[in-house]
Structure 1
Amino acid sequence: MAADKGFSLPTAEQVMEKLALAEAEKASEYLRKQAAVEAEKKMLLEKLTKPSGVSDDEALQRVANMIERAVSNGLTEVQVYRFPNSLCTDHGRAINQQEPGWETTLTGLPKEMYEFWDRQLRPRGYKLKFQIVDFPDGMPGDVGITLKWA
């Protein structure tokens, strides 16, 4: 049986080279995506460390809407926010341990939210709970803020 003259079988070395190039491209694409994800996280963290610019009146309206939806679903509490523990000066350790003064570890938007609650919602009988809501690799992860009225 004669081989087709228009076809040439690549050498094993050529096949391995082609495979290595494809793997390198996959690795490069993964690194590009990881860099984009990290840049996005960094931008979000920077945004969360700055004041929101939301007035108390606007925040009260937003809270009233959240509470109304939760109550219509028969709930007595609602998670109002979730943020990375890096927005705490101790990465959430004091919150996880429920240490007195844990609120002094808050920075940025979470601190602003705590202060708003203290100013506007606490006098109206609402409670606010900060807790670690996930533990990636056994370490404290994100912090959840729950507003309670029961």
Structure 2
Amino acid sequence: MADTTETHAALADETFMSAADLQNYMEKIAMAHAKEVVDAMGQATLAREQLAKTLSEPMELTPEALAEISGRLQVKLRAAAERGDTEIMVMRFPNLLCTDHGRAINNTLEGWPDTLTGRPRQAYELWRDRLKPAGYGLKAMIVDWPNGMPGDVGFFLTWTRK
């Protein structure tokens, strides 16, 4: 059996981490994790800004583009119907693409479509001109609340079950 003093001496030598060293190590780990979070937030902000820039520019709605949009939408609608759903989110965009940052949508004010710009405006017009006459509804709402403030807007295509 080893002598207790020998055990304490072995634990106190330089190869064993002291409590202060362990605390410093823990602080370095915490700082590394915090840096990762900050870096990820920066990347997310850049991606969000790029998305807003892209969506702010209307796209050319050629017959080919409309056929592609219609085809993708039909696939999503069929999948939703098979699940028994009566709505699907068809678009999500930063509230920066509303002239009032989504205030009218959040408060369900009459005339909220007039606040839309860019591709969200085009999506609304596509619904109004083609999908509404076919019996589909459109619901717009704020879908996230970063730091308690309105964030992204979601467009939901709705229909009723008979």
Report the TM range for the smaller structure's normalisation: 0.7 to 0.9
Q: Is the 8 A contact 1:56 1:116 kept in 2?
A: no
Runs of 4+ in 1 over 6 A off after TM superposition: 20-30
Q: Once the 2 structures are TM-superposed, how far is the Cα of residue 27 of structure 1 from its aligned partner?
A: 7.4
Deviations 1:98-133 (A, max 9, x none): 111100101112111101111110111111100112
Cα distance change, pair 30–57 in 1 and its aligned pair in 2 (3 A): closer
Q: 1:49 aligns with which of 26, 31, 56?
A: 56
Q: Is the 8 A contact 2:92 2:155 kept in 1?
A: yes
Identity %: 42
Q: Select between 29-38 and 58-67 the one with higher mean Cα deviation.
A: 29-38
Q: 2:94: which partner in 1?
A: 84
Deviations 1:53-92 (A, max 9, x none): 4522222222211111110111111111221111111011
Q: 2:84: which partner in 1?
A: 74
Provide TM-score, normalisation by structure 1: 0.75
Q: Is there any run of 5+ residues in structure 1 with no aligned partner, and where?
A: 1-7, 9-19
Provide TM-score, normalisation by structure 2: 0.70
Alignment of 1:1-150 (within 5 A): 33-54=40-61, 55-150=65-160
Cα-Cα RMSD:
3.0
Cα distance change, pair 145–33 in 1 and its aligned pair in 2 (3 A): closer
Compare CA radii of gyration and give the structure with the larger one: 2
Q: Is the 8 A contact 1:70 1:78 kept in 2?
A: yes
